[in-house]
Amino acid sequence: MNENPVPYRAPGHAPIAFGPTPLHEAERLSEALGVRVLVKRDDQTGLALGGNKARKLALLVEDAIRRGCDTLVAAGGAQSNFARMTAAAAAVAGLHCELVLGGNEPSRWSGNLLLDRLLGARVHFAGSENWLDILRRTNDVAADLGSRAYAMPIGGSTPVGALAYLHAAGELLEQMSGPPDWIVVADGTGGTHAGLLAGLPAGVRVLGVDVSRPPLPLVQTIAALAAETAALGGRPAPGGEVLVVDHCGPHYGSITGEAREAVRLAARTEGLILDPVYTGKAMAGLVAAAREGRVRGTVVFWHTGGAPGLFADEYADF
């Protein structure tokens, strides 16, 4: 298995993911938190304003084309970053895209939703915010398309998708003189976390910040997916504890006071733009862990993107 594969290219088109992404020292943020913080900039993966899903989609699209599919089917919340980037990846590769999103169609499309439409996706609304209802509707859409459909779970969290973060772990280690003590990352469905565990040496601890409360406990999901991903990448299954803290708030997509503070802190110390649903809550998790002394040494904050969500109507009072 190639440790650092060239990003997938559809014939005559740009790559789906650009890399390696920058890693930079966040000096003023480090001073504010009392720990050394580096930021891994996967908000700069290049696809439709960037984000961690570009790495996953580079491999998922390749798999879809290999299987003879011509339509990507993805699901998520109304402001799903994965949905937005799936639509973009489909456009790059010359595929069709069907998106199934939670809730009902809004009177005004904003944020990621606006980009979904701009990128040419066909959008279906599940009429419910419940994950199981969204997945049922997604299965119906895929069934109607038959063998043409390449249906992906929410977040693209399959072993193929997570394999991208096994590779990304190697990329990070090549950028550093020694491995970090901690990595902090947002956990929606856990695929990024699982891939990192599969690719990192045993001494590096990954703290996932749960922003979505999926139906199955993330600790179980991440452990199983990390083992499958490691096997796919020709690595031994990772050992050790899967570390996850909850910072969802009342419900998925709700903005918490701690996340507001964290988004402002990152912006006003580093000019770093986070989003209210994923990276803002991950930064809130880092802030709490640093202030309580639970993370020490060198900490990499893995910026998974999501800034278009800031421009959604529901966050207009931010």
Neighbouring residues of 216: CB distance < 8 A, sequence distance ≥ 6? none
Strand 96-101 to 71-76 pairing: parallel
Gap between the Cα atoms of 286 and 164, Å rounded: 24
Q: How far is CA 190 from CA 128, 168, 292, in A?
A: 22, 15, 24
- CB count in 10 Å sphere of residue 191: 31
First CA to last CA distance, the chain? 44
Q: Which of 80, 110, 157, 212 is catalytic?
A: 80
Gap between the Cα atoms of 233 and 146, Å rounded: 29
Residue 110 known to be catalytic = no
Q: How far is CA 94 from CA 87, 115, 194, 206, in A?
A: 10, 17, 29, 36
The amino acid that residue 141 corresponds to is V
CA count, 13 A, side-chain hemisphere, 87: 25
Active-site residue set: 80
